[in-house]
Amino acid sequence: VILLCFRRYLLMALFSCLFGNTFALSAAVDSKPNILLFLADDLGIGDIGCYGNNTIRTPNIDSLARGGVKLTQHIAAAPLCTPSRAAFLTGRYPIRSGMASSNGYRALQWNAGSGGLPTNETTFARLLQQQGYITGLIGKWHQGVNCESVNDHCHHPLNHGFDYFYGMPFTLLNNCQEDKHPELDAALQAKLWLYSHIITLAVLTLTAGKLTGLISIHWKTIACFTLVGGIFFGSWYSSYGFVQYWNCILMRNHDIIEQPMRLERTSSLMLKEAVSFIKRNRHRPFLLFVSFLHVHTPLFTTAKFLGKSRHDLYGDNVEEMDWMLGKILDSLDKEGLTNHTFTYFASDHGGHLEAHDGSTQLGGWNGIYKGGKGMGGWEGGIRVPGVFRWPGVLPAGTVINEPTSLMDIYPTVVHLAGGILPQDRVIDGRNLMPLLRGRVQKSEHEFLFHYCGSYLHAVRWHQKDSGAIWKAHYVTPIFHPLRAGACYGKGICPCFGEGVSHHDPPLLFDLSRDPSETKPLSADTEPLFDTVIGKIGRATEEHRRTLTPVPEQLSLYNIMWKPWLQPCCGTFPFCWCDKEGDSTQSL
């Protein structure tokens, strides 16, 4: 009997050695993995080590890349926060959902605006929720809050498929830190402040003239000037004068817990919440979307990281974000979930070149790529890091140079969860799993369309038979100063009007030979010029036929501040609270 048992044990051991890894891999793929998504804010592709930076330390992101798959041509669907994130959440170009702007305001401006991600859009969180996943969002939202009343929460994360939300319904701004220059609509604020001074000066001059008899004017006229001036000042200062209170708030689900936020403890709170979410949901499939507030200005960084990098405050902030990511991955490992978790890291768009304080650069570096945040066509505004890890399923140390999109995350995670994509709308993303696992060698994307607001600036054609990546620019921003590579005189490059150049024929580049877009081709230098331009033009017309009119969520009315929609933890306008107190602990 002992001999028979021993023989059976040897056979089982041999069987396990020969086929164990195969069955483990099959089980990992067939079962529903946890899904952990990291999205940085304003991070340039050249800011992290695995994409060539050797002066900013990002060991945890680099380790993620070594243990998985790195994409070198990962493209955001828009060069600004609000539309890019809308596309990420829905798998659709933002123009399809109304999250692309035709005016100068291309992102949501207020928590108390009425625009935001429409309720008829279906996020990947909603589809995963339907597949039994517990879904959580920690960090930045920037997709709106309310529509018609202060408590309808129509655009809120909990109304878009997330079971749990902890973070900012808006985005970080310089206005969130008292010692920083205002960032929200700074040019308009300066004009309104000037007009207020002019009106005040006029009232004082008229009053002095009346009292000295130098000006013949009725007191009623002076009173009227004073009233109009007071209304003018009060109407704009009631919003812009209290940006820190109106926009810089922290929420848990529908409850405001800090108004305004205490930035010195925000990173600790976000990290604590992410680790806690993983721990309490370790026994069921979960989706955790960690939407970093880093590395958007004002770059508030805790003392532990201040002055530690070689790139001033920006580098400090990047290194703190990498440390936070490492701590979250450590918690995943501690719970024994690493091998059963599909992990992804990216940035919402390129680094902000125009962000600076004197000679100190406060924005990211986009490597060899031209342009940056706000530029819908140039690579620096839309080419971002893209890193995946799933031990035992995705081959470690793989680099993929094929064109992919942030919109691809939508069908990819829905596929992993066993869900079905919506059949009543166009989904522009493609399932990446065959490409990531090496089952196919080519991306499913033949064309990618690059919008700046609602204006099409460029189109990319992946010519699969030759390997060429053609890119035609119909519109490009006019740099300020000229040849500066950015719009330093404007803060961010415009999408239309006098600040752009239109090209007919379009500027054409072959990114496979000229990724920096420095040598535009012509019919004289490229034999295929007319063929390529014609092919891209026909694809553009076909793409436009798939677009249907939808309400513009970023219209001037929708983005304006509305007092009746202002989230407030007190009695409006006395909005102030601190429910976190001293609950933070070091992690």
Q: Where are the domains of the chain?
A: 34-172+249-445, 186-241
Residue 30 CA to residue 382 CA, distance in Å, equals 34
Backbone angles phi, psi at 510, to 5 degrees: -105, 100
Residue 503 CA to residue 525 CA, distance in Å, equals 17
Are 342 and 324 spatial neighbours (Cβ–Cβ below 8 Å)?
Answer: no
Question: pLDDT for 395-427, tens place per residue?
Answer: 999 999 999 999 999 999 999 999 999 999 999
Q: Which pLDDT score is estimated for 3?
A: 40
Q: What are the beta bridge partners of residue 289? A: 37, 137
Nearest to 120 by CA among 103, 99, 105: 99
Q: Across 193-207, 220-234, 515-529, which has the greatest mean pLDDT?
A: 515-529
Question: pLDDT for 288-310, tens place per residue?
Answer: 999 999 999 999 999 999 999 99
State the distance between the two ends of the chain, measured CA to CA, in whole angstroms: 54
Question: pLDDT for 96-149, tens place per residue?
Answer: 999 999 999 999 999 999 999 999 999 999 999 999 999 999 999 999 999 999
Q: Concatenated DSSP letters for 407-469?
A: GGHHHHHHHHTT----SSS-------HHHHTTS-SS-S-SEEEEEETTEEEEEEEEETTTTEE
Encode 124-176 in three state secondary structure: HHHHHHHCCCEEEEEEECCCCCCCCCCCCCCCCHHHCCCCEEEEECCCCCHHH
Separation of CA 294 from chain center: 11
Q: Which pLDDT score is estimated for 14?
A: 42
Least reliable range by pLDDT among 177-191, 259-273, 516-530: 177-191
Decide if pLDDT at 511 tops 80: yes
Give the pair of three-digit tokens for residue 111: 């928590």
Nearest to 522 by CA among 541, 538, 539, 503: 503
Decide if pLDDT at 390 tops 70: yes
Q: Which pLDDT score is estimated for 317?
A: 98
Are 432 and 71 spatial neighbours (Cβ–Cβ below 8 Å)?
Answer: no
Residue 12 CA to residue 24 CA, distance in Å, equals 15
Query: Residue 551: CB partners within 8 Å, gap ≥ 6?
Result: 98, 118
Q: CA dist 548 to 93, 155, 484, 543, 553, Å?
A: 12, 21, 37, 11, 15
Residues forming the active site: 81, 142
CATH-assigned architecture of domain 34-172+249-445: 3-Layer(aba) Sandwich (3.40)
SS3 of 44, please? coil
Question: pLDDT for 554-568, tens place per residue?
Answer: 999 999 999 999 999
Q: Which pLDDT score is estimated for 546?
A: 98
Ramachandran assignment for 42, one of left (phi > 0), alpha (psi -120 to 50 degrees), beta (any other): left
